[in-house]
Structure 1
Amino acid sequence: MAGKPRLHYFNARGRMESIRWLLAAAGVEFEEKLIQTPEDLEKLKNDGSLMFQQVPMVEIDGMKMVQSRAILNYIAAKYNLYGKDIKERALIDMYIEGVADLIEMIMYLPMTPRDEKDAKITQIKDRTINRYLPAFEKVLKSHGQDYLVGNKLSRADIHLVELLYYVEEVDPSLLANFPLLKVLPPFLYLCFSSLETSFVLISDTHITLSCVAKSHESTGWVCREEDREENALELDFLLLSSWLTGCLFPASCWCRWRRLRP
């Protein structure tokens, strides 16, 4: 049996975050080998693990994959998140390229010189409400489904919801005039195929739970209270009703994925 995918990246979201989201949505447990010092990065370069001398790098199925788009394409295809035919795949590619354009603008905002930051934020807000979100709202409306492509979850949906949380971090009011996008997360079913997937649940009462596992004895989900782990994922409960793998979470809804680190 192949081992868990191993992710090599810095202690940050960056270009690895979309990979984390995609693996999590596919129900795949993974390990992270954080690059914490220049020496850690040099070691990867010197042992030939980084084809182009850069990360992210993911060890999966006997390969050491680099280039984030190639990694995402492989994971999406492997776990049936890439459409049923070439036409659906083309639409998915088109949508995620649009998502990536706006995410990159937001990602690089912290690196903007202080005297240019206000102008950059204004540009991001303008592009968000006048270019990108109207396009995705229109797709959802014309398609008439809870998904961007076809009638099932694809990587386009996963990356779009990731984008919505980036947008929310800039200014939550940017979503105000996009009703379909605002309700998209509750309809995104994150199906965890593994028997036990470890992460952290943060409820509205701030109770920390870890390890939501699919029970052998029932079709429901069981939660066990544990200490928060450094590399776990944070899930902020929204007070809505939502189905998760066919089971309704009591008094809660779809869970928001965020890293416990910047």
Structure 2
Amino acid sequence: MSNKGNDKPLVKMVDIEKRFGSVQALKGVDFEVYPGEVVGLVGDNGAGKSTLMRILTGIYHPSRGDIYFRGEKVLIDSPKKARDMGIEVVHQGFGLLDSMTVARNVFLASEPLIKVGPVKLLDMEKMNMETRKVIEHAGIRTGVEPDSIVQYLSGGQRQAVKIGRAIYFKAEVVILDEPTIALSIREKDHVGELVNDLRKHNVAVIYISHDLEEVYELADKITILDVGEKLAEYKRGEVSLEVLYDIIREGRIPPDIKQQNKKE
């Protein structure tokens, strides 16, 4: 983990609860991530991972609890507010418009303009030049140009463009939601390289995936949710991959692991 000197979490969520009518989706969840830290957020379907992240990104409002950003209590009441704060989400199947070029997607809703007489036009030259930097930084070696149409990109190339865009716009927190579904082994490896690149840029990464082996390899810390509660949290190497599988499968911490933690 590369958060040396960062003694305070970038994001801290305290006692988060969320109710949908009579259903309590989250029950007093605490969650935090530091600059330059990769936190794996795992749990079975219905554990509350998506609900927690939708609260962090302003889609849902918590029924109870507080969110702190850089040590200050904040109200994130819309996705725009989250993005303005530097919180970006990279979904597997969303985030790019197929019919547009890579450059138009990179600068979507943030297009640079140039004044030609009384008229303001898109500054395509700047967009293409800066998009080339995004492509190079994202490590896309072949087949992608600023004027490439997104629908012809592979899944791995799409993910690289989205992560590269987050780096370009200086995101402070990047949420990767199932980023490697349907990708080839080579493309998965490239996503892993991009995650490490985010870490080197001191970006806080929240990595959501059902691929526990992948999370175990990449994450500095793993937070396990179960039926809306925070079941456990472990730093890299504190427990084995097999134990993580058992905890998620059983929905409880094995007694021998509890005893080990007490001794520590």
Q: TM-score, normalised by structure 2?
A: 0.30
Q: TM-score, normalised by structure 1?
A: 0.30
Which protein is richer in strand relative to its size? 2
Structure number with higher relative contact order (C-alpha < 8 Å, ≥ 6 residues apart): 2
Which protein is richer in helix relative to its size? 1
